[in-house]
Structure 1
Amino acid sequence: MIETTPSATSMFHRAFSQKLETDDRSPIVTFELPISGDSYGILLPNVGFWIQLIATVVVGGVFLSIISLAMHTFVVERRNTATAYLVGWGAVVPACILGPISILEFLDIRNLMLRFIIGCILPPITVYKCISTMYGTNPKEVEKSKKIFALFISSSQEIVFDPRTDEAAKATFSEVFSHLVKFLQYMMLNGIYFSWISAYEFHPFGVVAARDGYISSPSNIICLRQLANNFSIALLYQLLLTFFGEGLVAISSILTGLRFRKMMENPVFTSASPSDFWGQKWNLVIHENLKRGVYKPVRKRFSRNVAMVSSFVASGIFHEWILLGK
């Protein structure tokens, strides 16, 4: 009898055999709050989900490594030539959009969170990086070597460079440990906060009067109850993005030994102005990619106002893509 070694493809199919379309976990402990009498339970993490999440990161990394090789060979080394633009717009950009969709179908990934990561987040960020590469608006440090360029393309997080040497900064043990601790802290905090807010169907301060599913008057939009609900949702998104951001920074530093920039800087509680909120603290990954992939290329040929409007439209398309994916 001849034993055969499972191929990488079959291993990935096996990893995604559990579809995780519903959460069928049972609480290991249940308890009631003494005042309200509400019943709560504690669930253990789903090991299958975390295995699939790691496999998703690996698949995405391999795909983006291939993209980075094509971009460096045909775009970086041939910048400002017809070949660079033809390959960039004609091959790489379509591949950035269609590739992740093909991965979802090939591996039959059905979990909404995993589909969101691969199908909604990966394509636009890679497209922005492809455009910034074509038009020469990447940080000069990322194109000094194929290795750093591959890390720049394949990582969703921003690499930190030493301003004195222009080399990628090394991550210290204390920095990596700090990100891991914050990751675990935010995992527990998200579990508590999500359980609380979802129990009220994401309207913890009550439902505002609506007609046919829509808020019926402007006064209901700016009332304290609706503003409080909006704040609670903004806080939920901040907690979720910070949780995933800390995890991505930690795993990226462990795998590469390099330092990466945080995704969030506590924007809900520390922002001094709307521009500080959106430009300096909220989802810095999207902000930087929009700036390099849309604003700067447009600004090279048009006015500042045109570049700003283009960035705003691109941001709108990005979020519509997310809604379409959901």
Structure 2
Amino acid sequence: MTLKKHSYFGRTDDPAIKERFHQVVKDYNDESQSDVILGFMSDEGVRRNKGRVGASLAPEKIREKLASLPFTSEIFDRGSVVGTENLEASQHELGNEVSTLLKKNSFVLLFGGGHETLYGHYLGVRDAFKDEKLCVLNIDAHFDLRNESPSSGTMFHQILSTDKNIDYHVLGIQPLGNTETLFKTAEHFGVEYNTIDEFREDKELLMALSEKLGNYDKVFMTLCMDSVKASDAPGVSAPSPNGFTSLEIKTILEHVATLENLVSFDISEVSPELDRDDMTSALAAFLAVTFLNAKNNKS
């Protein structure tokens, strides 16, 4: 499989000092054991889910917005898996890449793509950690538990119906974004979730969640950008009128990034074609750097 490579270009204040992302990012090499960026250029799952397509362009646009941000840590870029109409095959290709990186002790920062990115992400984590107890943390307005042909709304049903050694926690559920059937499906699978109102009302929630996540062998995380309110993130398939603020998402990521057992993180559902002044892509890039800084500076 050939991965699409991406180039970084940005502002330079002093050529002798490497202080922006484009100055420190390097092409991935097989011997690195550091943070690695990987993309999944797909929105076939969004199309199947009858959503507004455009997320396949996100891995390139987010990198464009990353380029000039201040950043000095070691970081590598593996490129992007280019998805096709054969979503299932594309997800398995993504899983192979994720697994390969995790087996080399790299932390994977993954840019989708539609939220179908998560299933390929999961395949890679499970292949790398075959017998370990996993937990996936989904920051999202939706459960994505539909029981139908694979799409950007089915991933967690696919996972939970076949893997009995994984738990699923959702942070940010919107009661008006999920039907009674989906709530019953969540109950059937033992899904743990917090609504966005519970998050806002319980000041101890993040601390309690982090303590719980710390008890798993491995944790991986996904952020669906349609969980962010539309005024902060208009460029998504399903804009939210009552989503997280950018500050709330920043706080969540800074908190979870310090988990010692967190192995990978994806940001999905940015749709540049639907964006306004590149706001959503810029926010995704800002959140990626915020997360990496918190992760690398943990004590």
Answer with 1 or 2: which has the greater Rg. 1
Structure with greater helix percent: 1
Give the TM-score range, shorter chain.
under 0.3
Structure with greater strand percent: 2
Query: TM-score w.r.t. structure 1 length?
Result: 0.25
Query: TM-score w.r.t. structure 2 length?
Result: 0.27
